[in-house]
Amino acid sequence: MDSQNPLAEFRLECQNSLADALQKLFPKKQIARLSLDKPPNPEFGQLASSLCFELAKQLGEKPLALAKRLVETLDKSKFSLIEHVTTAGGGYVNFHVDFAKFSALTIDSVRHFDTEYGFVKTDNPLKIIVEHTSANPLSPIHIGQARNPMLGDAIARTLKARGHNVYRHYYIDDVGRQSAVLSYGYEKLGRPKPEGKPDHFFGKIYTTTSCLVEINRLKKELERAKAVSATEEIMKLNRELDDWISVAAELKEKYRELFEALLEKIGKDKDPETTINELNKAYERGDEHAKQLIREVSELCLQGFKETLSCAEVFYDSWDWESEIVWSNRVQEILEKLEKTPYVSALGGVLEFDAEKATQKLKLKKELNLRESYEVPSLTLVRADGTTLYPTRDIAYTLWKFERAEKVINVIGMEQKLAQLQLKIALYALGYSNYADNLIHFAYNLVNLPGYKMSSRTGRYITFDEVMDEAVKRAYEEVSKRSPQLSEEQKQKIANFVGMGAVRYALVEVDPSKPVVFTWDRVLNFETNSAPYIQYSHARACSILRKAQRKPEKPAYNLLKEQLEHEIILAVSSFPDVFIEAAELLKPNLIADFANVLADKFNTFYNALPVIKAKPQELSDARLALVDSVRIVLRNALNLIGIVAPERM
């Protein structure tokens, strides 16, 4: 018999045994749920029930006495994976697994299912859109943004392995002032052909144009404030102007030729701000010149993104243009529907959605896990100049996504928490409660580089390309030091998957709610808790199996009696449970943590016990089969987070 979830088989046997005993002792008593937990120490068994503590209160008995009665009533003739049952800790019922049988079930199941082991399929497969990355086409993806595609891709892989129909979408945010700023600067330069990678080229234009336009605006504001002697405002504007002049000095130093060209061209424009705003409005209207200009810039920038993401092995099923949502009249239709609700009002040409009023009237506070005292800020839908805001367009885009899927997961930083909340409330207000219930904001925290503060707007960032190149370079140095006998081609190949794996793992293994502190010492650690460490463990397992030069023909699993062996068997058997939890709770970090723990246990086992030379051969075969199961599970876990599991390192 093989099982996709060996630990679940043992758990079910324990639950059924306990339920039968309860039925015999208390035939009229209804027990809602028989939960089992892992004891803190293996000497107390592999699963334990605390049921007797609560039940004893109801029956007026002592928990330990009740536990002993239950254990005595268990039908031991039905035991298969259970070896024996004990009581402990004043009332716990502890189940001890029969390791000989359980080892056979676990190891044979892993080797039988191989590439599919652990990937327990859902009973309710859904069409799911995972929208992730969606960096604005303005400047290169930097390391601060790179956590998004790493998490999004891992979520998509995990949900697909769970049996869902998953579609990866990238939302191209090409509508709005930022795109107009970049396109304005690009046109001022005469639409030059990009030098080098296009997203890097446009990043320089965007930051320089943005800086010069901001300085121009602040100088005009300062003149106005001085004319009316607004002392406090003058001080505030001077501080802002000083900051931007400092940024300008940096940009001039980095991109002298480009900076001076833009300074000259923009200096000839009497009112750059108005020109940019007009370009923005024209693009939203769909005017031909604006469409041709901004689309050209966006498409060129996206070429660079696709190259970067391809290097990271991240791909998409759909690239969705925000502008096409706007031009299709979907946004206008949504605005008209919202205006018919009692939650929208117009004031001075500005259209506002009263999110708090909608939350109160529709009684959503509990549904949205909001405190009753929390007041949801209102959402501006349309500015006085007639242009819409990003959240307004996002409502239309969300409805578009739900026409194609039953669940939508937006992988967006936690700084967008309010915008995502307002989006959900708007869906409820429009009557799309089912969509709102199935819209998930997968929020994640920042990436911190000690001693470095990033900002795309000021050009202070470290690109994802630079990080990947540096990771591969450092990996190459480490591989060359550890394996000097390898050819240059082999070293480079290993360095590529080790470097990329290291970056991926570092951005995924931290709980999404916590920030990632990115340091090279931690990212490329070959000794513990890193992708290279886990990859090296997988390669070590492959090496053992190669050196054995035989397949384990007669494994005697009853000879696997060492505690280290039992720990590995339990870890391998628990992979399906970890996978299910990671898929259901959207926690890819659980997979990364599991792989690291299994690698730790395997390396301890490798250093302590012989495998190929173990006697008798039946024990050696059993240990070879155990090594093979570790290899399979490590590979399957790494695949879920997009990391190569190498056979050699």
Report the pLDDT averaged over residues 228-239.
89
- Using DSSP's 3-state secondary structure scheme, residue 474 falls into helix
How far is Cα 425 from Cα 125, in angstroms, rounded to an integer?
27
CB atoms < 10 A from the CB of 21, how many?
Answer: 19
Is 197 contained in some domain? yes
Domain boundary among 413, 448, 483: 448
Q: Which of 44, 104, 217 is nearest to 554 (CA)?
A: 104
118-168 confidence digits (pLDDT tens) = 999 999 999 999 999 999 999 999 998 999 999 999 999 999 999 999 999
How far is Cα 244 from Cα 76, in angstroms, rounded to an integer?
78
Interacting residues of 80 by C-beta distance below 8 A, sequence separation 6+: 13, 98, 101
For residue 468, what are its two tokens?
Answer: 């990947």
How far is Cα 644 from Cα 649, in angstroms, rounded to an integer?
12
Please give the pLDDT value at position 553. Answer: 84
Task: Please list the residues that pair with 49 across neighbouring strands.
Answer: 93
Report the pLDDT averaged over residues 77-101.
95
Is 103 contained in some domain? no
Q: Which of 495, 553, 535, 527 is nearest to 607 (CA)?
A: 527
Give the domain CATH number at 30. 3.30.1360.70
For residue 521, what are its two tokens?
Answer: 């010492």
Is 513 contained in some domain? yes
Work out the pLDDT band at 181, boundaries 50, 70, 90: very high
Domain boundary among 313, 337, 366: 313
CB atoms < 10 A from the CB of 315, how many?
Answer: 12
Is 456 contained in some domain? no
Please give the pLDDT value at position 518. Answer: 87
- Helix ranges restricted to H, 28-98: 51-59, 63-73
Domain count, the chain: 4
Task: Please list the residues that pair with 409 across neighbouring strands.
Answer: 130, 440
Q: Which of 209, 243, 232 is nearest to 138 (CA)?
A: 209
Please report, for residues 200, 210, 240, 268, the alpha-carbon distance to residue 216 in angstroms, rounded to integers and kept in the order given: 25, 10, 12, 11
Shared domain check, 562 and 476:
yes
Give the domain CATH number at 592. 1.10.730.10
Least-confidence region, from 28-42, 171-185, 211-225, 559-573: 28-42
Report DSSP state, residue 138.
T
Q: Which of 400, 278, 424, 383 is nearest to 327 (CA)?
A: 400
* C-alpha torsion sign, points 525, 528, 534, 539: positive
Give the domain CATH number at 441. 3.40.50.620
Interacting residues of 284 by C-beta distance below 8 A, sequence separation 6+: 175, 323, 326, 387, 388
Shared domain check, 284 and 356:
no
Shared domain check, 298 and 421:
no
Report DSSP state, residue 341.
S
Percentage of residues of the chain with pLDDT beyond 70 = 99
Is 471 contained in some domain? yes
Tell me the pLDDT of the chain averaged across its residues. 94
Domain boundary among 271, 288, 313: 313
For residue 329, what are its two tokens?
Answer: 């009249």
Please report, for residues 72, 73, 97, 332, 381, the alpha-carbon distance to residue 85 in angstroms, rounded to integers and kept in the order given: 9, 11, 9, 67, 64
Please report, for residues 194, 255, 612, the alpha-carbon distance to residue 186 in angstroms, rounded to integers and kept in the order given: 10, 15, 65
Res. 466: pLDDT tops 90? yes
Res. 457: pLDDT tops 80? no
Shared domain check, 615 and 484:
yes
Peptide bond into 616 cis (omega under 30): yes
State the maximum Cα–Cα separation within the chain, in Å, rounded to a whole number. 96
- Using DSSP's 3-state secondary structure scheme, residue 388 falls into strand
How far is Cα 511 from Cα 404, in angstroms, rounded to an integer?
30
Is 580 contained in some domain? yes
Are 45 and 96 within 8 A, CB to CB? Answer: yes
User: What does pTM read for this prediction?
Assistant: 0.93
Are 144 and 516 within 8 A, CB to CB? Answer: no
By CB atoms closer than 10 A (0-12, 13-18, 19+), residue 107 is: buried
By CB atoms closer than 10 A (0-12, 13-18, 19+), residue 303 is: middle
Shared domain check, 614 and 474:
yes
Res. 30: pLDDT tops 80? no
Shared domain check, 338 and 435:
yes
Q: Which residues constitute the domain of residue 141?
A: 127-173+321-448
Question: Angle at CA 312, nearest 5°, toward 306 and 313?
Answer: 85
Res. 649: pLDDT tops 90? no
Report the pLDDT averaged over residues 503-528.
88
Interacting residues of 587 by C-beta distance below 8 A, sequence separation 6+: 511, 512, 581
For residue 606, what are its two tokens?
Answer: 């490798």
130 phi and psi angles, rounded to 5 deg: -105, 105
CB atoms < 10 A from the CB of 134, how many?
Answer: 22
Shared domain check, 266 and 160:
no
Work out the pLDDT band at 561, boundaries 50, 70, 90: very high
Res. 456: pLDDT tops 70? no
Task: Please list the residues that pair with 447 across neighbouring strands.
Answer: 516
CA 631 from chain centre, in angstroms, equals 25
Please give the pLDDT value at position 168. Answer: 98
Percentage of residues of the chain with pLDDT beyond 90 = 85
| E strand or H helix at 470 | helix 464-482
Q: Which of 435, 523, 583, 461 is nearest to 206 (CA)?
A: 461
Please give the pLDDT value at position 402. Answer: 98
Res. 319: pLDDT tops 90? yes
CB atoms < 10 A from the CB of 362, how many?
Answer: 14
How far is Cα 101 from Cα 86, in angstroms, rounded to an integer?
19
188-222 confidence digits (pLDDT tens) = 999 999 999 999 999 999 999 999 999 999 999 99
How far is Cα 515 from Cα 444, in angstroms, rounded to an integer?
8
Shared domain check, 506 and 602:
yes
Shared domain check, 350 and 256:
no
Is 649 contained in some domain? no
DSSP state letters, 206-239:
HHHHHHHHHHHHHHHHHHHHHHTT-HHHHHHHHH
Please report, for residues 49, 92, 110, 112, 321, the alpha-carbon distance to residue 55 in angstroms, rounded to integers and kept in the order given: 12, 12, 38, 41, 59
Report the pLDDT averaged over residues 519-532.
82
Shared domain check, 596 and 489:
yes
- Using DSSP's 3-state secondary structure scheme, residue 522 falls into helix
Shared domain check, 11 and 36:
yes
Q: Which of 506, 520, 528, 380 is nearest to 447 (CA)?
A: 506
Please give the pLDDT value at position 454. Answer: 67
* C-alpha torsion sign, points 410, 413, 417, 418: negative
CB atoms < 10 A from the CB of 310, how many?
Answer: 10
Is 495 contained in some domain? yes
Report DSSP state, residue 382.
E
Please give the pLDDT value at position 31. Answer: 74
Q: Which of 410, 401, 406, 414 is nearest to 441 (CA)?
A: 410
Q: Which of 101, 86, 2 is nearest to 43 (CA)?
A: 86
Report the pLDDT averaged over residues 448-476.
84
Interacting residues of 638 by C-beta distance below 8 A, sequence separation 6+: 501, 531, 534, 535, 538, 595, 644, 645
Shared domain check, 195 and 144:
no
Interacting residues of 560 by C-beta distance below 8 A, sequence separation 6+: 99, 100, 103, 566, 569, 619, 622, 623, 626
- Helix ranges restricted to H, 96-230: 99-113, 147-161, 177-188, 198-227
CA 187 from chain centre, in angstroms, equals 37
Report the pLDDT averaged over residues 332-351.
92
